Amino acid sequence: MFDLNTLSTLSLSTTIAKTETFTFTVADFPEAAIIAFLQYGFQRKFNDAVGGAERNDAPYTSAMKVADAKAMIEEYKQGIVSKRREGGSTVTPEISAARKVMRAMLPSLLSKDDLKKFRELEAVDANAKLDTWATANAEAIADAVKAEVKAMADQAKRRAGLATVSIKL
């Protein structure tokens, strides 16, 4: 578990109007301010993550948002705090793994110009292309996708284990 005494040495910073950065430690603030920061940050983190009216060019309903927020909160409780989220709850680990496998193969499959064009695409368009290519090559990449799904699960377990480590300075 996290040592709360360590919290007082945590450095916080924010840059305002891209001109001035303010940096403080938590100990610079009274308890009421720290509680306000935590409450605001908690609310903002999860509401921002499920914002928007659409995901993957489809309506993003209230029920979907609630389900995604619940899943994200559970991941945070397990110590998984830096997971890349691609398009909300509709992206399975298999889809994410297939995209990663295809992305790794692109330098050997595309010309330099086409690779540059691909890298300039918006994320939703790049993911659509990766999904199309992965579907067309599903049999050829099946073993690599299975291995990537396993690696992702193993990494999540390691991160969850780190969350239980006590940090003392």
Same domain, 66 and 4: no
Together in a domain, 57 and 27: no
Q: Do 115 and 152 reside in the same domain of the chain? A: yes
Q: Which residues of the chain have pLDDT under 50?
A: 86-89
Task: State the pLDDT at residue 121.
Answer: 84
Q: Are residues 32 and 112 in the same domain?
A: no
Q: What pTM value is reported for the model?
A: 0.47
- Which pLDDT score is estimated for 104? 93
| 95, 19: one domain | no
Residues 6+ apart with CB under 8 A from 105: 141
User: Within this chain, do residues 42 and 62 fall inside the same structural domain, yes or no?
Assistant: no
Same domain, 54 and 133: yes
For residues 91 and 140, give the distance between their C-alpha atoms in angstroms, rounded to a whole number: 21
| Total of domains in the chain | 2
Contact 45, 75 (CB under 8 A): no
| Statement to judge: residues 35 and 57 lie in one domain | no
| Domain range for 137 | 50-169
Residues 59, 106 within the same domain: yes
Residues 115 and 162 in one domain: yes
12: left (phi over 0), alpha (psi -120 to 50) or beta: beta
Q: What is the pLDDT of residue 89?
A: 44
